[in-house]
């Protein structure tokens, strides 16, 4: 088996828009509308869990996405410029990632590829929180020369495509935050801990002062 198929590999069997029959691509930000699915993230910001679009159940092998889920979870959507697909292709098929993969999978982002009739023919689902990407149909089925793990994808490049389309990067606040990856969260947590310790120290000093008075 040959190595990963890159954007410059003209012999690749992957079509220009990645999936056969695709004529347009739409980016989505996914979020549950249910109140019980809301939570406070590590920064104390209220957020909601995402939503899975990919049809993953064995009985749904012929389906690309669960259309019902798309109606429920899609909070914002925007067309993806065809010029960005080459960047997506490269981000997915060239091993560049070095991020730690988390055990969770709570995708908030997806790009759905539609044919001329408006039917989904492909989907790229992304979880920036746990650094995972899922693709259907799998590129490894479309082109046997593609050999890679999606968790090694270029998440920064994928994030830029969503931002180019105007889709938020939650839970990250910006491309620079996404670039920092795990360090971003460590810094934020450290800042939060320092703030809490400072408040506790001030509280103790205030208590000592009150006793002295």
Residue 17: count of CB within 10 angstroms of its CB: 22
The Cα–Cα gap between 109 and 106 comes to 9
213 residues of the chain, pLDDT tens digit each: 333 333 334 334 567 888 999 999 999 999 988 777 776 665 666 667 778 898 887 777 789 999 999 999 999 999 999 999 999 988 887 766 666 677 778 889 999 999 999 999 999 999 888 888 889 988 766 655 555 556 678 889 999 999 999 999 988 888 888 887 756 555 554 455 455 555 555 555 565 455 555
Q: What is the pTM of this model?
A: 0.75
Alpha carbon separation from 20 to 76, 105, 113, 172 (Å, rounded): 26, 27, 10, 32
Could you give the 3-state DSSP secondary structure of residue 56?
A: coil
Cβ neighbours of residue 167 under 8 Å, at least 6 residues apart? Answer: 27, 28, 29, 76, 77, 78, 109
Closest listed residue to residue 30, CA positions, set 74, 69, 78, 68: 74
């Amino acid at each position: 088996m040959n190595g990963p198929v890159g954007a410059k590999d003209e012999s690749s069997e992957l079509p220009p828009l990645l999936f056969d029959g695709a004529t347009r691509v739409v980016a989505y930000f996914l979020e549950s509308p249910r109140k019980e699915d809301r939570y406070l993230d590590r920064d104390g910001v209220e957020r909601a869990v995402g939503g899975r679009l990919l049809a993953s159940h064995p009985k749904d092998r012929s389906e690309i996405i669960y259309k019902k889920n798309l109606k429920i979870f899609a909070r914002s959507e925007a067309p993806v410029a065809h010029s960005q697909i080459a960047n997506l292709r490269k981000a997915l098929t060239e091993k560049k990632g070095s991020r730690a993969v988390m055990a969770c999978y709570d995708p908030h982002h997806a790009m759905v590829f539609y044919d001329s009739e408006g039917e989904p023919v492909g989907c790229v689902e992304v979880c920036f929180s746990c650094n995972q990407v899922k693709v259907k149909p799998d590129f490894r089925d479309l082109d046997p020369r593609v050999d890679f793990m999606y968790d090694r994808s270029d998440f920064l490049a994928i994030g830029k495509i969503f931002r180019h389309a105007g889709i938020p990067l939650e839970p990250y606040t910006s491309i620079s935050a996404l670039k920092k990856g795990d360090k971003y969260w460590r810094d934020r947590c450290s800042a939060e801990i320092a703030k809490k310790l400072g408040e506790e120290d001030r509280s103790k000093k205030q208590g000592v002062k009150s006793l002295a008075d």
